[in-house]
Structure 1
Amino acid sequence: MRDLRDPNLGSASMDDLIDTVLRQLRSDPRADDQIANRKRRGQQGGRPPAFDRDAYKLRNTVERCINCLKQWRGLATRYEKTATVYRAGLLIAGIFLWSAR
């Protein structure tokens, strides 16, 4: 079995190695800078302040529709050479998906 010890850590066990890495991550000064930057910027930066359930439902519906359309080989591979033929295939696939509901 291979020796997994880091030469910089000596003969430390794996638990000591994990503890060392976690300690370094917790003491990373960049994390404090990121938190301060988010607080300073407010709603203009960082994570969104709240979860919008209606926007999520609409986005999820669109993503699921696109995933269903990707099941069509002609649409997924973009085999058609012209935009009009590709659009026609997209419309036909949409009609089939709509009628299957």
Structure 2
Amino acid sequence: RPQMVLADKAYSSRANRAWLRNHHIKATIPIKADQAAHRRAKGSRGGRPPAFDPIAYKDRNAVERCFGQLKQHRGLATRYDKLAVRYQATTHIASIDHWLKRLT
């Protein structure tokens, strides 16, 4: 089970945050502008904004770049491998390939 989830604004719904809270998983998800405006419009009844760690959120960029580099492999990008075990093996091979290219 993960200890923390880093996600973008698309996953900032109340239901997603509640599910993560019920499973004791910390969430670093920025809130959408309309959600923040709605909270401000409600005033003191709007509740306090959810916790957000901007330093941890910066790490999300590295993860997304890694996935972008892995998806240069056609099998990963198009998901030819339907079995999860084969897809995981393909991911490992692509990661090793990427690592070896960085060494040379």
Correspondence for 2:11? none
The superposition leaves residues 8-43 of structure 1 with CA deviations (integer Å, 9 ceiling, x where unpaired) of xxxxxxxxxxxxxxxxxxxxxxxxx72323653122
User: Is residue 42 from structure 1 mapped to residue 24 from structure 2 by the alignment?
Assistant: no
2:83 matches 1:78: no
SS at match of 2:49: helix
User: 1:42 is matched by which residue type in structure 2?
Assistant: R
Amino acid at match of 1:87: Q
Structure with greater Cα Rg: 1
Aligned length: 64
User: Any idea what SS the aligned residue of 2:47 has?
Assistant: helix
- Output the CA distance in 2 between the equivalents of 1:87 and 1:51: 30
Secondary structure of the corresponding residue to residue 42 of structure 1: coil
Please give the TM-score of this superposition, normalised by the length of structure 2: 0.50
Structure 2 unmatched runs, 5+ = 1-36
Counterpart residue identity of residue 41, structure 1: G
Change (3 A) 1:65 1:38: farther
Bigger RCO (CA 8 Å, 6+ sep): 2
1:1-101 to 2 correspondence within 5 Å? 34=38, 35-37=40-42, 40-44=46-50, 52=54, 54-101=55-102
- Measured in 1, the distance between the counterparts of 2:71 and 2:64 equals 11
Amino acid at match of 1:86: Y
How much has 1:57 moved relative to structure 2?
2.6
Q: TM-score by structure 1 length?
A: 0.51
CA shift for structure 1 position 56? 2.7
Q: Matched residues, percent identical?
A: 45
